[in-house]
Homo-oligomer: A and B are copies of this chain.
Amino acid sequence: MADHTVKAFDADIGQLRGMISQMGGLAEDAIGQAMQALARPDPELAARVRADDKAIDAIEAEVERLAVRIIALRAPMAVDLREVVAALKIAAVVERIGDYAKNIAKRVPSIDGEHRIEPISLLPAMARMASDMVRHALDAFAARDAEAAVRVVESDAALDDFYDSIFRTLVTYMVENPRTISQVAHLLFVAKNLERIGDHATNVAEMVYFAATGTQMADRDRGGPDKETR
């Protein structure tokens, strides 16, 4: 590419990275706020999380537009092209992560604030772990850091173990407190959504790895679907 084209490409790719990073920040916020809304419970905050999801969708659409424009105008090659295509695919996954956060928020109106269910206290730590995976996967993208992407994939096993442990605790609690079953069922759903967020962060990390290296991450026991027995 000519020098001015390289500069224009760098500016474009910088903007693309910025939008992905912004989407990731919004998705993280959505997870955190949905969990806050659940813990209090705060149906108004939950409604705001649901409304804010539209902003994530809007940025995804912008990422698509810019990625298409870069491909059409700049004709990037090799690692640059892989990065643009990865941005487009990653934006689709982050959009989906936002949906899971929204789905957690949708449960909040069903949570009974008067009769607090003790195991609810386990969920925020799991949510932080899932949210950290999202941030680390997107940081890896921003830094083109394949090693960091591998670490994200590896960390999914810990999230799955956390899910298994919460699942057992919640089921035991249901058995011992049968009147709470419908409430605890909502918490099981929340835990499952958090685990899926981790699965999607893993997916992003695999895309980052490919964008950075041009090869698929080794065929190993992937953290996500492989480590789970539930």
Q: Mark A residues whose CB is within 8 Å of B.
A: 50, 57, 64, 68, 71-72, 75, 81, 85, 88-89, 92, 96, 99-100, 103, 106, 167, 185-186, 188-189, 192-193, 196, 199, 203, 207, 216, 219, 221-222, 225-226, 228-230
- The contact sample of 14 A-B pairs, CB cut-off 8 A, is A68-B85, A71-B71, A85-B88, A89-B92, A92-B92, A92-B207, A96-B203, A100-B225, A167-B230, A188-B229, A189-B229, A189-B230, A192-B228, A192-B230
Q: In this complex, which of A88, A92, A193, A196 has the most chain B Cβ atoms within 10 angstroms of its Cβ?
A: A92
Bound complex: CA A68 to CA B81 (Å): 9
The residue on B at minimum CB distance from A82 is B64
A45 to chain B, nearest CB (A): 18
* Residue contact A193 to B85, C-beta cutoff 8 Å: no
